[in-house]
Amino acid sequence: MPGFVAEKKRYTDPNMCFPNLANHGKPTFSKSNRCVRSEALDDDDDDSSIPILPGLPDDVSKHCLALVPRSNFPAMGGVSKRWRGFIRSKEFITVRKLAGMHEEWLYILTAGSEGKGSHWEVMDCLGHNRRSLPPMPGPAKAGFGVAVLNGKLLIMAGCSSIDGTASVSEEVYQYDSCLNSWSRLSSMNVARYDFACAEVNGLVYAVGGYGANGDSLSCAEVYDPDTNKWTPIESLRRPRWGCFACGFEGKLYVMGGRSNFTIGNSKFVDVYNPEKHDWCEMKNGCVMVTAHAVLGKKLFCMEWKNQRKLAIFNPEDNSWKMVPVPLTGSSSIGFRFGILDDKLLLFSLEEEPSYRTLLYDPSAAPGSEWQTSDIRPSGLCLCSVTIKA
């Protein structure tokens, strides 16, 4: 499928967009929840002098709220400013975890049928409770970044086409899975698309991509949720676009994609150390990573030229191990990764009904690591993230 065409570069991956359409399938949310709040306004609304539950200490009240079923959180957020502020906080996730109420959910950006855009689907660890998120505000976008921060889904930048005119965005939106609502965060310093992004140590990094003029970028920036600000950091040694990133061992790994200073796809992995504020280069990286995931203390990648093997990176000795992927009907089939219950899910990029989701369990006994799973999106998986809250 063709992408949006800019003056110099082509906007790729047109299915990775949010259409302003009704939710796919049966609606599960009321219109009152489909709102966009300002983070600053919500922070100003907080009044710590008002007790969460009259007659009870706040620590006891917080524990009580954490025990309420997750399905009631959106309604709880409308009870008071204190309740909403607590449900939106990092502390709420911590209290739920201590209370044994922590839940793991898989969010999958799914391509719509017959080219009708895309939507987010949410599933539990058994693949049940499938539902769609409220549509993201603003025009349909492609080439945007996706990250998870403090139990919330962040959608960053990207490009859109309105009346045939391409526009690159610096806007950032956050979806709160507890309150089922979108809010607007501070915009990035640089409008970009087809860039790498990831969370590391509670901060979100955005690196490279294409800029507003279609030029390739080497600049990078970091988002701090405590200040709701983006701050520039040291740039890459070379422009890089169409790349991926992940937080791994307290560092930012940027891989795949292309660069102005390489012939074809980049073979290098750029590694940013937040403590030293500098970049280094790992030269034995994969070639054009098409999927990646961090599971335990290892990095799992799928290479563009070899879709039948997992490339597993071990940071202890900077080595790569290749693991064959079982055949499921086609030697050229591609995959997208998901993580659920400490297992790696491989979603097929073929829409054939006979294909099943592959599951790789790194803790299983040798010879039994590969299984199949009934967890699968309603359409093609464009990307997925795991949220624990």
The string of DSSP letters for 105-162 reads EEEEEEEPGGG--EEEEEE-TTS-S-EEPPPPSSS--BS-EEEEETTEEEEEEEEEEE
Q: What is the pLDDT of residue 387?
A: 93
Residue 210 sits at φ, ψ, to 5 deg, of -105, 145
CATH 2.120.10.80 placement within the chain: 4-26+103-331
- Among the listed residues 123, 148, 104, 116, the one whose alpha carbon sits nearest the alpha carbon of residue 19: 116
Helix, strand, coil percent values for the chain (each to nearest 5): 10, 40, 50
Crossing angle of the two packed helices 58-66 and 90-98, in degrees rounded to 10: 70
CA–CA separation, 362 vs 205, rounded Å? 28
Six token digits for residue 155:
């959608």
Q: What is the pLDDT of residue 263?
A: 56
Full-model pTM: 0.85
Question: Which residues, given as ranges, of the chain have pLDDT below 50?
Answer: 1-35, 40-41, 43-46
Q: What is the pLDDT of residue 115?
A: 57
Q: What is the pLDDT of residues 132-179, one digit of tens each?
A: 889 888 888 999 999 999 999 999 999 998 888 889 999 999 999 899
Q: What is the pLDDT of residues 7-62, one digit of tens each?
A: 344 344 433 444 332 333 332 333 333 345 555 445 444 466 788 999 999 999 99
- Among the listed residues 95, 90, 84, 93, the one whose alpha carbon sits nearest the alpha carbon of residue 46: 84
Cβ–Cβ < 8 Å for 305, 256: no
Cβ–Cβ < 8 Å for 159, 39: no
Cβ–Cβ < 8 Å for 307, 291: no
Q: 3-class SS at 94?
A: helix
Extract long-range pairs of 92-98: CB within 8 Å, 24+ residues apart: 92/62, 92/65, 92/66, 92/178, 92/389, 93/150, 93/151, 93/388, 93/389, 95/62, 95/63, 95/66, 96/66, 96/389, 97/388
Residue 70 sits at φ, ψ, to 5 deg, of -60, -35
Taking the domain 4-26+103-331, which CATH number applies? 2.120.10.80
Six token digits for residue 273:
């150390």
